[in-house]
Structure 1
């Protein structure tokens, strides 16, 4: 996840999220930055706005429970965790006010407690600018109401949470994490994640990390015209024609998908000539490829900040203790 020199996620909510991912306007348009964005947790910053008048001129301007607009922003701050699905609140177990007049800007820290289909449950804390606890939200429930399309290209900081969500939706109830790894490093500089399988892929400035208890592997490849040849794909070249016929996409994209699948096989410890088959065509330009007991989720992403599409492959297979290492 790319960060600015100030430790913020390289994304500008006011310019890049409102009007696309977020529909809020006016006094509710309050997100100003993110410090962390993952599929199941985020840390965001909510701005103050002392110019807002909530009541008529003859009514007291005092807000007994503090800034109302900031609470709306607290809810929609979570939207980055599911950037492909619009979520709306449907209930909460408990809202504990501690210091409602703690001065902003405020820091919202949210963590997903559980998910059941289209229903999501989060716990949150909101801190004031001096680090004091403003309030705690317990069991905030949100429901998916519609899909969100990024037709003009994806923002890079939202790729990891989206890929993680989609891989889990497509392949099933598995433990796959796509995020920066922060648990120390081995002597050779690679990250250590005890009792987990880890795969890392790089393309330019982007790094994708996949972590899971299952056998996992991942790959990223830019889609460049005529980059992938018949010789490079070997016995998997015929699959390119199948993908083109079934999906209608061009040969360069289809060939790069197959290339990422082959790289995933290599990282998973499988034979490079393991047969690959097209299992299914899914929504949002995803396809599933089969390789024995292994499944590879394949996607081609259009990026807002790049003219070159990016092919993504994520393999999930049976647990294999001998493969518990960085690939």
Structure 2
């Protein structure tokens, strides 16, 4: 008959002679080779990464720590000490840790058919409720007849490379001039608004409509647990893994990306790594759930790969901005598809010099389509592309915007300017009534609504719609989008604040309905 051990006191040695770790120190049930149940408590006083969530935010147990917990449960049950392959990961609701109380965590590892495989669950108990926070299957590499080869490095197709103020070259188009933008840390803080433990980002190489490429500092920058890890970490530095997840936030600056699950996580080893390059690529979308693949590369080789990371896009419920200009293009692309069903690549390029508008337009379009793209101009000054692609460009404030689509498109960009009612009447004529209606519907100042109408009329002019065509209000959204119609044309307008810009910008994109 197998021995069942029940222990409710402190640390002990686990199977294979390995010392007990953070999440396996107190064992409740142990059936060797079959079942392991452990318990621990979680609180800001015990776990430094929960001490300072920043602002008024409540401490949240990071998914990176949940993965480390299930890996420790697998290692304790099977006796393996190397990083496992983690599959079929399902994350439950985020675990918010009260500031004044501790939360009990219960880890259950059940052996699979193969001796080095297990299914592990992590639950939390608080005020009598027990909730599953994560479930995963883990196995030793090669277990069950599955060969785990080193993945091949891939790079997402860049659409908007983002040079930075740091002394590193841009990832693509090296012949293009560097741009003066905020440092990577300012970008990261603006987008994520998290505490100091997340400051691993060195720079974004690219922020695209399908993902991002980012450089992250490794364990030499900071341990989550102080100057050195106080215990065995099966998966290595959780701070770096958490930064991998949060760096993807640049792809959707207007929302929170909630992890739902992962098909498979493969690790070459536990590190540490001095510097890691993250490649994040969105593969598909199902409603508000987006599926990404992630690769972390260090020293020229893949050290970690996430396949099928599912992220739910949860709107943050706040107006857009203030953002770095480089995140606006991917945001505009996604919101145009969601609101108007219009698929168009977009980029917002800072550093406008008015006497060189055509050069700035060519640079912006090359960010979208490649350095060898040629922009031609019609006699009336409108830009054109070959290959059945349509392009529109606009210049406003210190920025150039370019939009490229497979169907006719017009765009405009205007700084929001404060003017008196009489001056707007002179500029807009009969369209001032539409501005008054938008101001009444949205609650925004007349000058903001009137600038929307002005930019909408300019975007329609670029697709050949005359000013006498009726322009009507359709609807607006909480994140400051107003949708208009003009015959068969639809115009999506938004107002956004950008870092360093003296005024908000009104953006309008016209497309055929």
Could you say whether these structures have the same fold, taking a TM-score greater than 0.5 normalized by the shorter chain as the test? yes
Offset at residue 287 of structure 1 (A): 0.8
Offset at residue 44 of structure 1 (A): 0.8
Match of 2:368 in 1: 181
Aligned length: 314
Q: Distance in 1 between the 2:164 and 2:193 partners?
A: 25
Structure 2 CA distance for partners of 1:59 and 1:153, relative to 1, 3 Å: closer
Q: Please give the per-residue CA displacement for 1:78-119, whole angstroms capped at 9, x wherever unaligned.
A: 111111110121111122334654843111111111122221
Structure 2 CA distance for partners of 1:100 and 1:200, relative to 1, 3 Å: farther
Match of 1:126 in 2: 296
TM-score by length of 1: 0.84
Q: Please give the per-residue CA displacement for 1:14-55, whole angstroms capped at 9, x wherever unaligned.
A: 34433x532543544322210111232111111123352759
Answer with 95-104 or 302-311: which moved more. 95-104
Q: Distance in 1 between the 2:374 and 2:195 partners?
A: 47
Structure 2 CA distance for partners of 1:99 and 1:269, relative to 1, 3 Å: farther
Match of 2:322 in 1: 153
Out of 463, 476, 501, the residue aligned to residue 268 of structure 1 is 463
Q: Distance in 1 between the 2:438 and 2:191 partners?
A: 30
Contact 1:11 1:34 in 2 (8 A): no
Match of 2:38 in 1: none
> SS of the residue aligned with 2:419?
coil
Q: Distance in 2 between the 1:151 and 1:182 partners?
A: 26
Match of 1:84 in 2: 254
Q: Distance in 1 between the 2:496 and 2:266 partners?
A: 41
> SS of the residue aligned with 1:95?
strand
Structure having greater relative contact order (Cα 8 Å, sep ≥ 6): 1
Offset at residue 280 of structure 1 (A): 0.8
User: Structure 2: where are the runs of 5+ without partners?
Assistant: 1-159, 171-178, 348-366, 378-382
Structure 2 CA distance for partners of 1:59 and 1:147, relative to 1, 3 Å: closer
Structure 2 CA distance for partners of 1:285 and 1:150, relative to 1, 3 Å: closer
User: Structure 1: where are the runs of 5+ without partners?
Assistant: 319-327
TM-score by length of 2: 0.55
Contact 2:491 2:511 in 1 (8 A): yes
Structure 2 CA distance for partners of 1:95 and 1:193, relative to 1, 3 Å: farther
Contact 1:219 1:314 in 2 (8 A): yes
Does residue 301 in structure 1 map to residue 301 in structure 2? no
Contact 1:86 1:148 in 2 (8 A): no
Deviating above 6 A after TM superposition, structure 1's stretches of 4 or more consecutive aligned residues are: 55-59
Q: Distance in 2 between the 1:148 and 1:281 partners?
A: 14
Contact 1:175 1:214 in 2 (8 A): no
Offset at residue 309 of structure 1 (A): 1.4
Offset at residue 234 of structure 1 (A): 3.7
Does residue 202 in structure 1 map to residue 395 in structure 2? yes
